[in-house]
Structure 1
C-alpha cells in the first residue's frame, strides 16, 4: 500500500485535466490536488476546458437552428451556455473588476470593493453591454449559417481560456494571498504559456479553414480573432496589474470575458 501523500508525487495529465475542468467549469470533476505543479498543468489545459464549453454552446445553437428557432435564439443560447457551465463566475469576475477599476480608489480599497458580494453600477453596465455584444455578434454569425456561429462559439471559448493560461505565466503576481488567483499566479513558465497560445491560434486558424467555405481566408480570419482576443486580454491584464498590483480570481474572469468577446466581434466583422 502506498501511503505517500498525493502532493508529494508528480502530477499526472489526469490531475492537470481535473484541475482545469474542476476550477473552470461546473462539470462534476473533483480537484484532488491544489499544489503548484498541478496548477501549472491545469492552466496549460485551460483551453481544453474552453473547447468543451464552446462545443456545448455550438451544439445547442445548432439544435435550435435545426428546430427552426432562428439565429437570434441560437445566439442567446450560445451566449448562455458558457455562463451556465461556469456558474456565471467569469461574468461575476468581469463585473467585480469593472467596479474595482471604476471606483478610482487605491489598490487596497479597490480590492475590497471587488470582494463584496453586491454589484455596483460599473459592473451592471459592463455586464449589460458585454452580454448584448455577445448576442449581437453571435446573431450575425448564425444568420450566415450554423457553421460560422458554431466556429465562433468554439473559437471564443478557447481564446477566453487561453487568456487565463497567459495570465498565469511567471512574473505575473497575485494581488491577494488567497483565492484562485493566488493558487495559479506565476505557475506557468513564460515559454510554455506562449507555446500554448501559439498552438491555440494555429488550431483556431485550422478550424476556420475547415468550417468556412473561404478556406485560407477563413483560416486567417479565425486566427486573427484569437490573436485579437489574446491581445485585448493582455492589455486588460497590464492595466489590472498597475491598478491592483496583480491578478485575482475576478481579474481572471474579466480576462476570459474580454478575450472571448473580442474574438466574437472580430469574427462578426468579417
Structure 2
C-alpha cells in the first residue's frame, strides 16, 4: 500500500529512526513528500520534550539550546545541513547547469558552505535559547519548536510540487521532484500556518512567520530551477534548514 510505504520512506529519509522503507517508486515518494510535515512535527515533539527535560534539570538556556539543536542534527543525520552547504557552495560559485551540479557533488565543503552551516547553527541555537527562556514562564511556548520543525519539512512538500523538475536524471531529486499535487502542498502549508496561529500570543505573528519562511522556500526552488535546471536532494536539505531557521527567528520576535 502506497500510504504505509510512503510514511516509512518519509521517516527513513528524513530521520535516523530505524524503519524499513519497503517499496520505493514515485507513487510512494509522492506520499512520503506529502507527509513530510507530519514527520517534522514528530521530530519537533521529540526536541520540545528534550528542551522541557533540560529545563526541568535547570540547564542554562544556552546549553539547553545548543544540546537541542545538536540533537536535531543527529536525528536527521546532519543531511539537511550538508545539503545547505552544498547548495550554497554551488550558488556562491555563480556557475550554472552541470558546472554547478559538479560542485554540489564534491565531498568537500567550500567556504560558502562552511559559513552557511556555522551561521545556521548559531542562529538556530540563539533562537532556541530565546524559546527556552520563554518556556520557563509558559510550557505552551515549547509548541513553537514543533511548529518550526513542521514548517521546515513543509518546505520539502512545496519543493516537490508538480511542475518542479529534477536537476539530474538520478538521485533523490529525480525520485521525488514533481510528485506532490499542488492542492496537497497547499493544504500542508495551510495546516502548519493554522497551527502557528494557535501558539500563545502568536495570533498574527506565527502565521506570518511561517508564510514568509515558506515563500522563501518557493523563491529558493525557483532560483534552483534557473541555476541548476531543477531540484536535487541538496536543494531539499537547504530548503528545510532555511524554513526552519526563518520560522525559529520569527517565533522569537515579540
Q: Same fold (TM over 0.5)?
A: yes
Aligned counterpart in structure 2 of residue 252 of structure 1, from 233, 236, 243: 236
Cα RMSD, aligned residues only: 1.3
| 1:94 and 1:251 in contact (8 A); partners too | yes
| Highest RCO, 1 vs 2 (Cα 8 Å, sep ≥ 6) | 2
| Aligned: 1:225 with 2:209 | yes
Q: Name the residue aligned to 1:238.
A: 222
Q: Distance in 2 between matches of 1:71 and 1:155?
A: 20
TM-score normalised by the chain length of structure 2: 0.95
Q: Distance in 2 between matches of 1:154 and 1:80?
A: 16
* Partner SS, residue 46 of structure 2: helix
- Look at both structures and tell me which one has the larger radius of gyration over its CA atoms: 1
Could you tell me which runs of 5 or more consecutive residues in structure 2 were left unpaired when the two chains were aligned. Answer: none
Q: Name the residue aligned to 1:135.
A: 125
The aligned length equals 252
Q: Distance in 2 between matches of 1:58 and 1:219?
A: 21
| 2:173 and 2:231 in contact (8 A); partners too | yes
The residue correspondences of 1:142-181 to structure 2 (distance < 5 A) are: 142-146=132-136, 147=139, 150-181=142-173
Cα displacement string for residues 236-259 of structure 1 (whole angstroms, at most 9, x for unaligned residues): 111111111100000000000000
| Aligned: 1:203 with 2:195 | yes
Distance 1:148 1:131, change over 3 A: farther
- Shift, 1:204, TM fit: 2.8
| 1:179 and 1:248 in contact (8 A); partners too | yes
User: Stretches of 4+ moved more than 4 A in 1?
Assistant: none
Aligned counterpart in structure 1 of residue 27 of structure 2, from 2, 13, 37: 37
| 2:2 and 2:27 in contact (8 A); partners too | no
